[in-house]
Amino acid sequence: MSGLLEIRSYPDALRAFRWEALWKLFDGDRDRLNLAHECVDRHVGLGTALRIKFDDGRVEEHGFRELAAWASRFANLLARRGVEHGDRVAIMLDPSLPFYGALFGAIKRGAIAVPLFTLFGPDGVASRVDDCRPKLLLVERDARRWRGIFPDLDVLSVDDVAERLADERDRYAPRTAATDLAVFQYTSGTTRARPAAVRHTHRSVVTLMIGALYGVGLEPGDRYFCPSSPAWGHGLWHGTIAPLALGIPVGGYSGRFQAARVMEALTELEITNLAAAPTVFRMLREAGLASASARSLRKVSFTGEPMDSGTFEWLERTLGFRPCGMYGSTEVGVVLVNYPGFSGYEVRPGALGKPAPGWEVAIVGTDGAPLGPNQPGEIAVRRNGEWLPVKDRGWADADGYFHHSGRSDDVIISSGFTMSAVEIEEVLLKHPDVREAAVVGIADERRGLVPKAFVVSERSGPEFAREIQEFVKARLSRHEYPRRIEILSELPKTPAGKTDRNALRERPGDARSTGGTSSE
């Protein structure tokens, strides 16, 4: 590989980028392309492919050659069990050699891999099985139990597969087109609607390189770690497929999340490039991450939701450099980046970043037309000559940096005033006794909506609630403050680690919900 991978300057990245250059990173082309070949088989001579830190403290490493052989045997096993091109294969395993081998083995076969979160109960699995209709379900153990729940589904455990793989060949020649489906990815958002998968083709790996190169800053020689579960988008695409596609080993985490284990991994594996959700960095801060534990780190990126200024400033103090956010959507990919590891680029605190190479991004108004600097509107990308909103609000400063103002449905209009939940949260998190905070709009007969804050703190009671309200009034606005406050022991989270705002909106009030009024 060469070309784009050799460029580490922001001005040069903009000048040299061409969409066609992304295709030159791969063996395949627009007619014939297989994601598993691009991520695994063509790198068999490179050594280590997987570095996995487990929640019991151990570390496993596996090479590209071993992973390629496992995946090929699994592809041959699928063929023997009647799994055809386009059939779905559901994989409900934590990160491990069997997980990655099954993922890429299904893709080699021309089937569609469907990663499922291992903490799903029967109802959570059933809703996704009903949606994607897999031909086979691979589970860690208790295959008999799952066969009882899904009597018409071929269910295998890891032990079942291990017994059968010994009889399979360790070579498999994939035959897929770039436009064939490769992965069904279920998003982590929680709504009342039945879950539906985002469908990705083999050529998705090409577009993914925008985020890999300019959002995560991946480059040969990186010792990379991403603790996000590969059952969800960040862990699957940026944590697994992106590094392997570039011949860079995966650094993964398996089992119940423990910040102390992640800190161990940073030291033991000499990690130089770390990507995680902002929640993970807040947990590392609480666990006491110090510069000594992170001495090898040179690049840090985050995505999924904005990072509060307190955590951002702590990371900068601890690491000696600024963390880099990136922004995009499942449908269009990464469109705003902060170019970690690139010279000639200033990471601006609080900003989402600037447009990634190849993308036109703007803030648009209600008429769909681009707005000028410092004017709030919807973030949109230009596709096929039209501006496509991506359901987030924001604004762009005069220097071209984009800033986030919350999801379109997180904007609170109260008594005619437009308020940003994100802006209120940012101020709440500056209070020394507030560990976490989330703000949503709740119905109010007088004002239409009012901001309600859910706060995680050791303190509680009406006096603390009034203290918080005055704190926000003094720092943000006399009208833009949480009129209702509820103290929680923890915020509800989606499986991907994001704050579950839908659960907060649907949460009934209780005795610890405290409100204040004002004449402003």
C-alpha atoms less than 13 angstroms from C-alpha of 26 in its C-beta half-sphere:
30
Question: 332 in a domain, yes or no?
Answer: yes
- Check pLDDT > 70 for residue 510: no
Question: 345 in a domain, yes or no?
Answer: no
pLDDT of residue 507: 84
C-alpha distance from residue 292 to each of 288, 385, 520 (Å): 11, 50, 49
Per-residue pLDDT, averaged over 399-425, amounts to 77
Q: For 217-226, 455-464, 467-476, which range has the lowest pLDDT when averaged over its residues?
A: 467-476
* d(C-alpha 411, C-alpha 413), whole Å: 7
Q: Do 469 and 389 fall within a single domain? A: no
Better-predicted residue by pLDDT, 26 or 3: 26
Domain residues for the domain of 387 are 360-400
Label residue 398 by pLDDT band (50, 70, 90): very high
Q: Do 136 and 208 fall within a single domain? A: yes
Task: Give 237-270 pLDDT, tens digit per residue.
Answer: 999 999 999 999 999 999 999 999 999 999 999 9
Better-predicted residue by pLDDT, 238 or 289: 238
Label residue 188 by pLDDT band (50, 70, 90): low
Q: Do 280 and 370 fall within a single domain? A: no
- As for how many domains the chain has, the answer is 3
Residue with tokens 């590989």: 1
* d(C-alpha 146, C-alpha 124), whole Å: 13
Kindly report the CATH number assigned to the domain that includes residue 441.
3.30.300.30
Q: Where are the beta strands (DSSP E) in 294-376?
A: 299-302, 324-325, 327-329, 333-337, 351-355, 361-364
- Check pLDDT > 80 for residue 357: yes
- Check pLDDT > 50 for residue 277: yes
pLDDT of residue 397: 97
State the helix-helix crossing angle for 259-268 and 278-287, rounded to 10 degrees: 90
- DSSP-assigned beta bridge partners for residue 91: 115, 138
Nearest residue to 493 (alpha-carbon basis) of 464, 458, 454, 460: 454
Question: 344 in a domain, yes or no?
Answer: no
Tell me if 403 sits within 8 A of 420, measured CB to CB.
no
C-alpha distance from residue 9 to each of 13, 15, 338 (Å): 6, 10, 12
Question: 350 in a domain, yes or no?
Answer: no
Q: For 222-231, 366-375, 408-417, 426-435, which range has the lowest pLDDT when averaged over its residues?
A: 408-417
* d(C-alpha 265, C-alpha 223), whole Å: 11
- DSSP-assigned beta bridge partners for residue 328: 334
Per-residue pLDDT, averaged over 188-205, amounts to 74
Nearest residue to 72 (alpha-carbon basis) of 49, 98, 101: 101
DSSP state of 493: B
Task: Give 79-122 pLDDT, tens digit per residue.
Answer: 999 999 999 999 999 999 999 999 999 999 999 999 998 888 88
Per-residue pLDDT, averaged over 265-282, amounts to 94
**Contacting residues for 194 by C-beta, under 8 A, at least 6 apart:** 127, 130, 131
Question: 387 in a domain, yes or no?
Answer: yes
Per-residue pLDDT, averaged over 494-508, amounts to 81
Q: What is the mean pLDDT of the chain?
A: 90
Q: Do 420 and 396 fall within a single domain? A: no
Better-predicted residue by pLDDT, 263 or 518: 263
b/e 114-144 (16+ beta carbons within 10 angstroms → b): bbbbbebeeeebeebbebbebbbbbbeeebe
Residue with tokens 């386009």: 86
Q: Do 135 and 205 fall within a single domain? A: yes
Q: Do 202 and 94 fall within a single domain? A: yes
Label residue 296 by pLDDT band (50, 70, 90): very high
Q: Do 392 and 452 fall within a single domain? A: no
Label residue 203 by pLDDT band (50, 70, 90): very high
pLDDT of residue 245: 98
- Check pLDDT > 80 for residue 409: no
Which secondary-structure segment (H or E) carries 370?
A: none
Burial class (CB in 10 A: 0-12, 13-18, 19+), 152: exposed
Q: Do 194 and 108 fall within a single domain? A: yes
Q: Do 80 and 216 fall within a single domain? A: yes
* d(C-alpha 272, C-alpha 430), whole Å: 30
Question: 177 in a domain, yes or no?
Answer: yes
Question: 351 in a domain, yes or no?
Answer: no
Label residue 519 by pLDDT band (50, 70, 90): very low
Q: Which of 346, 369, 400 is the last residue of a domain?
A: 400
Q: Do 495 and 420 fall within a single domain? A: yes
* Dihedral, CA of residue 382, residue 32, residue 82 and residue 231, to nearest 10: -40
Per-residue pLDDT, averaged over 366-391, amounts to 92
| 3-class DSSP state of 163 | helix
pLDDT of residue 408: 63
Question: 355 in a domain, yes or no?
Answer: no
pLDDT of residue 201: 97
b/e 267-277 (16+ beta carbons within 10 angstroms → b): eebebbbbbbb
Q: Which amino acid is at 330?
A: T
Quickly count: other Cβ atoms within 10 Å of residue 463's Cβ: 10
- Check pLDDT > 70 for residue 54: yes
How many Å is the Cα radius of gyration of the chain?
Answer: 24
Task: Give 151-181 pLDDT, tens digit per residue.
Answer: 999 999 999 999 999 999 999 999 999 999 9
Q: Determine what percent of the chain is predicted with pLDDT higher than 70.
A: 93
Q: Which of 348, 378, 400 is the last residue of a domain?
A: 400
Q: For 50-54, 188-192, 367-371, which range has the lowest pLDDT when averaged over its residues?
A: 188-192
Per-residue pLDDT, averaged over 192-209, amounts to 85
Q: Do 75 and 151 fall within a single domain? A: yes
Q: Do 491 and 388 fall within a single domain? A: no
Per-residue pLDDT, averaged over 420-446, amounts to 87
